Amino acid sequence: MEIKSVGIVGAGQMGNGIAHVFSLAGFDVILNDISQESLDNSLALIDVNLTRQVSREKISAEERSGALARIKTTLNLPDIAQTDLVIEAATERESVKTAIFEDLLPHLKPTTILTSNTSSISITRLASRTDRPEKFMGFHFMNPVPIMQLVELIRGIATDEETFKTCLGVVEKLGKTSASAEDFPGFIVNRILMPMINEAVYTLYEGVGSVASIDSSMKLGANHPMGPLELADFIGLDTCLAIMNVLHDGLADTKYRPCPLLTKYVEAGWLGRKTERGFYDYRGETPVPTR
């Protein structure tokens, strides 16, 4: 089937980026959230990011205005149910995601494809709670969405070939590259990335190096564009911990045990950039390591 309209659940960090790239690619977008403030902030951020792309001559002023005109917002979840494709980009908690899909089900078109932007939760399990497991997929964007080129496509055990090929075509229309991943905890990217971040936290926890020395070592010694602790702050330490718990629970291997120091930071509410404190303190002019 041809996808023309897209409904996005969640106007946070990922949702606004997903809305940005879909509207710019010519799709009609309806963005849903439970907070009007979040919707307003999301639209403002999309405007800022599109304007930046115009200033860098990545897109034209006409493309910017066209993209903004294609985005509508709503506080009413059923408003997005008649779109061709739904992308859930809510909090990384299975209970929240399941509740969203259950609320949508009575209002959906028979042909609507359901997807989740989850970074680690079982697609098969989420799909099983809907009336269309064959039309359900993982559609995992990387952050920040307008910049990162990869989209992980994850088939559940029941996902049919038509749904997969349709989503593959959508990724191509967005101008991004897809990677097909099997439905196992963490998929590809986070199965590899999160244990690296967790090991960096263990390295800090055990006193092998400081925050600055760990990040500098990986940037200069492994040519990473961002150190692992700096990256953890960018992603959100609560998200990192949630994914490590999914890996630990789902794969039953002690090598995925979350570092106690990561848990301690999350308990303190020091979640990284979004709370202005994590492995770095962002409240001043320049970030300062907290350990």
Given 23, 49, 190, 198, the catalytic residue: 190
Is 234 in a helix, a strand, or coil? helix
276 is catalytic: no
**Among the options 88, 92, 94, 152, which is catalytic?**
152
Q: What is the pLDDT of residue 92?
A: 84
DSSP code for 183: S
Q: What is the DSSP string of 107-168?
A: G--TTPEEEE--SSS-HHHHHHTSS-GGGEEEEEE-SSTTT--EEEEEE-TT--HHHHHHHH
Q: What is the pLDDT along the chain (291 residues), one digit of tens a residue?
A: 799 999 999 999 899 999 999 999 999 999 999 999 999 999 999 999 999 999 999 999 999 999 999 999 999 999 999 999 999 999 888 999 999 999 999 999 999 999 999 988 999 999 999 999 999 999 999 989 999 999 999 999 999 999 999 999 999 999 999 999 999 999 999 999 999 999 999 999 999 999 999 999 999 999 999 999 999 999 999 999 999 999 999 999 999 999 999 999 999 999 999 999 999 999 999 999 999
The token pair that represents 191 in the structure block: 């199965």
Catalytic residue among 5, 38, 49, 119: 119
For residue 1, what pLDDT is reported? 79
The pLDDT score that the predictor gives to residue 13 is 87
Does the global pTM surpass 0.75?
Answer: yes
Active site residue 190: yes
